[in-house]
Structure 1
Amino acid sequence: MTTVFCVAVQQDELRTEMRRKSLLILIYHHLLGQGYVSAAVALDQETNGGVRRFEVCDNIDLEMVLMEYESYHYVKFQKYPKLIRRTERLLKPLSGFSGMSGEMRELAAIISRDIYLHSPNVRWEDIIGLEDAKRLVKEAVVYPIKYPQLFTGILSPWKGLLLYGPPGTGKTLLAKAVATECKTTFFNISASSIVSKWRGDSEKLVRVLFELARYHAPSTIFLDELESVMSQRGTSMGGEHEGSRRMKTELLVQMDGLAKSEDLVFVLAASNLPWELDHAMLRRLEKRIIVSLPSSPARQAMISHWLPPLSSTGGVELRTELDYETLGMEGYSGSDIRLVCKEAAMRPVRKIFDALESHQDGDTDVPAIQLETVTTADFLEVITHTKPSARNLMDKYTAWEREYESV
C-alpha cells in the first residue's frame, strides 16, 4: 500500500512539474508570436535554454487555452472570468537586486509573494480605541518618512515594535492600517513564509527577507505570531532542532544589522504569548506595547458599529433597540464582541427560515421578509451563551507588562 501511494505521489509531482514546464513553453512561443523577442530571449536565458528546445503541438497556443477557460467559466457561472486587475503599486524588478544567484532569486520570489500589492483598506479611524498603539506605530513608521529631518542622531527612528495581548484585540488590524496608510513596502510574514523543511533554507529566507526589505525601502516587515518562530532557545523538550536555532540566530543578526544602519526598514511584530519569546529578540524590539481588551467606551462603540439602530442587508432591514450602556461585556475582546453581535443579529433571521423553506420554487407568492427587532434582552441572552475567549489570561498579560513594558 505504501509503495502504491509513493508511486502515485511521484506521478502527481511529475505531472505538476510537466504542467509548469509546458506553461513556460507556451508563454515563450506566445511572446515570439507577438513580437516580444527580447522578453522571450530573457525567459529562455532564465531557464538555461529549457524552453527553446521545445515546440508547441499543433492547434495549441496560449490564447486558445485562455479562450477555452473563458468558455468553461461562462457555461458554469453564466459570466466571463475577470483575469487581471490593476495593481495599486509597482515593485522594483528583482533583476536589479544585486548579487543574486539562481537559488537566491527563487527564494526572493517566494518572499515577494508576501508583499502587499493591494491595500487591505483599513484606516486609522476604522480602529476603535488602541490610541497608544496607533501613536507609537505612527511615530515609528509614518513620521520618519514624512518628517525625516526630525529623526536623526538620538532621535533616529525605532527599528522594532512588539504588539502583544489577547487574541482578537486588534494587533493584526493595526498592521493592516500600516499597510493601508503608510507609503512603505509591506511584508506580511508568518512562520510558513520563512520556515522550510530543506536544510539551510530557513536562514537563507530570513536573510533574503531583510535584503529585499532594504532593496524596496522604505519597508515594513510584519512578523505575525512571533512566538511561533522566536520562542526561547534551548527550552524545547528533547532539545531544539539545529535548523530552528540557526534560523533564530539569523533573524537576530539581521535585526542587529537594522539597528546599526540608516535603512528605512521597520519590524512590526505581534504575539499572543509574549512570555514565550526569546529575551534576545525582546531587546531588539525597542518598543513593546500591550494591545489590551477594549475599554467600556470602546465596547459601546463596537456594538453600535456592528448593530446600529437600522441596517439593511440584501434588501432586508434589521432594526435594533439596545441600551448600549447596560450591555457591559467586560473581558470581551473585539473579535468576541463581533461574534456576539453576529449571533444577536442571527436570532430574528432564524425565525423566518420555516416560512422561507415552505415557499416552493416557482411560486409567485414569495413571503414578505420582516425581521423582528433585536432588543437588549436578546443581546443579554446571547452573552450568557457566548463566553469571552481570553478573560482569564489578562492577569498574565498585566504581570508581563509590568516587567517588560517599553512605551
Structure 2
Amino acid sequence: MPRGFPVDDMPLNEYESLIAMEMVAPEDIPVGFDDIGGLEDIIEEVKESVIYPLTMPHLYSHAGPLLSAPSGVLFYGPPGCGKTMLAKAVARESGASFINLHISTLTEKWYGDSNKLVRAVFSLARKMQPAIIFIDEIDAVLGIRRSGEHEASGMVKAEFMTLWDGLTSANVSGLPARIVVLGATNRIHDIDEAILRRMPKKFPIALPNKTQRRRILQLNMQNTKCDPEHFDLDYIAEVTAGMSGSDIKEVCRDAAMAPVREYMRQHRGTGRSITAVNPEHFRGVRTEDFLRRQGGPLIKVKGQS
C-alpha cells in the first residue's frame, strides 16, 4: 500500500483494499513535466484543462460545473512517444492520487468479482479525490463491444461506464467529483465509441519533429560526458527522424556505451583486472557513436547503404 495512504481515516472494504494496492502516491512518481521533451504545447493544455480544474476548482467556481475537470482524457499515438510518461507526470504535478489500473486487476476468475472491483475503483477514487484513474492500453480493457463477446466482459464495460457517468453528478459541494479517468492507447480505433464519448479531451502524441527530438536528446544526454569537438546535437536530431522518444533513448544508451566498450577493450589487452575506474579515463560521447555499434549501424543515415 502506498506511503501516506490514510487507512485509519478511511476504512476500506475487501475490494477497495485490492485496488489500493494499485495506488501510487504522487511524491513516489519519478517523472515530472521537466523530464518530458517536446510536448510543451500539450503539457500547457493539460495544465489548463485538467490539472488546474482538478486541484484548484475554486479558480473556476464562477462558471459552475462548466469548467470542471473532464471526466475522461485520452492520450493516443504511436508506441514509445511518451503517453504513459505524460500520464504519470500529470499525476505527480497535480498531486492527485494515482490509481494505476491493470487489466489483470479487473480480471477475476469468480463471476461477479470483476464488477465489484470496478465499483471499488470508483468508490476508492471518491474517497481519495482529487484522483486519477489511469488505464494504459485502454483498448484492451474497454475495446469495441462485439456480438460474440463473453457476457462477463460486457458486464464489466457496462458497469465501468455507468459508474463513470456518475462522476458528473454533483457531490455534497454541488460540483462534480474531482476524478479523471485517464487512458493511453496506440489503437484508438479499437476503443468502444461509447468510451470515446466519455473522453472529451483527446491529445494526439505524435512522433517527435526535429525540434522535439533535439530536446529529447538534450534531456537524455544532460548528465553524460560528451566530446565538445566531435558532438553535433543538431546533426543527431536530424538523422533520428522517424524515431519515437523511446527509440531515441535507446540510441543514447547505446552511444553512451561506446566509450565503455573502448575502455574495456584496452584493459583486456593488458591482462589486468579492472578493480577501480576513474570516470576521467573515459572519453566523451561523439557523434559517430550514434551512427554505428557492434553488429551493425545504430542509425541509418539517409543515402547510406
Using structure 1 for the length normalisation, give the TM-score: 0.63
Aligned residue number for residue 146 of structure 1: 56
Task: Quote the sequence identity (%).
Answer: 36
Query: Would the aligned equivalents of 1:116 and 1:179 in 2 still touch at CA under 8 Å?
Result: no
Aligned residue number for residue 149 of structure 2: 240
* SS at structure 1 position matched to 2:202: strand
Aligned residue number for residue 198 of structure 2: 284
Query: Would the aligned equivalents of 2:101 and 2:135 in 1 still touch at CA under 8 Å?
Result: yes
Aligned residue runs from structure 1 range 224-235, under 5 A: 224-234=136-146
Q: Partner letter of residue 71 of structure 2?
A: K
Q: Partner letter of residue 15 of structure 2?
A: L
Deviations 1:200-227 (A, max 9, x none): 1111111110011011111111111101
Aligned residue number for residue 86 of structure 2: 174
Shift of 1:112: 0.2
Tell me: CA distance 1:277–1:140, structure 2 relative to 1, closer, same or farther (3 Å): same
Q: Does 1:259 align with 2:168?
A: yes
Query: Would the aligned equivalents of 1:207 and 1:254 in 2 still touch at CA under 8 Å?
Result: yes
Q: Does 1:183 align with 2:95?
A: yes
Shift of 1:375: 2.5
Aligned residue runs from structure 1 range 75-94, under 5 A: 89-93=4-8
Shift of 1:123: 2.0
Kindly report structure 1 stretches of 4+ aligned residues shifted beyond 6 Å.
366-369
How much is the aligned-residue C-alpha RMSD, in angstroms? 2.6
Higher relative contact order (CA 8 A, sep 6+): 2
* SS at structure 2 position matched to 1:352: helix
Aligned residue number for residue 311 of structure 1: 224
* SS at structure 2 position matched to 1:381: coil
Q: Partner letter of residue 350 of structure 1?
A: R
Shift of 1:89: 3.0
* SS at structure 2 position matched to 1:267: strand
Aligned residue number for residue 270 of structure 1: 184
Q: Partner letter of residue 95 of structure 2?
A: K
Q: Which runs of 5+ in 2 are unaligned?
A: 171-175, 301-305
Deviations 1:106-125 (A, max 9, x none): 21111001111342132222
Alpha-carbon distance between aligned partners in 2 of 1:93 and 1:137, rounded to the nearest angstrom: 33
* SS at structure 2 position matched to 1:167: coil
Q: State how many pairs are aligned.
A: 283
Aligned residue number for residue 173 of structure 2: none
Tell me: CA distance 1:211–1:360, structure 2 relative to 1, closer, same or farther (3 Å): same
Deviations 1:36-83 (A, max 9, x none): xxxxxxxxxxxxxxxxxxxxxxxxxxxxxxxxxxxxxxxxxxxxxxxx
Larger Rg: 1
Q: Which runs of 5+ in 1 are unaligned?
A: 1-86, 98-104, 313-317, 388-407
Using structure 2 for the length normalisation, give the TM-score: 0.83
Aligned residue runs from structure 1 range 3-402, under 5 A: 89-93=4-8, 96-97=11-12, 105-117=13-25, 118-144=27-53, 145-151=55-61, 152-234=64-146, 239-261=148-170, 262-308=176-222, 311=224, 319=227, 321-327=230-236, 328=238, 329-357=240-268, 359-360=271-272, 370-381=281-292, 384-385=297-298
Aligned residue number for residue 55 of structure 1: none
Q: Partner letter of residue 150 of structure 1?
A: Y
Query: Would the aligned equivalents of 2:251 and 2:298 in 1 still touch at CA under 8 Å?
Result: no
Tell me: CA distance 1:136–1:351, structure 2 relative to 1, closer, same or farther (3 Å): same
Alpha-carbon distance between aligned partners in 2 of 1:356 and 1:384, rounded to the nearest angstrom: 25
* SS at structure 2 position matched to 1:212: helix
Alpha-carbon distance between aligned partners in 1 of 2:37 and 2:10, rounded to the nearest angstrom: 42
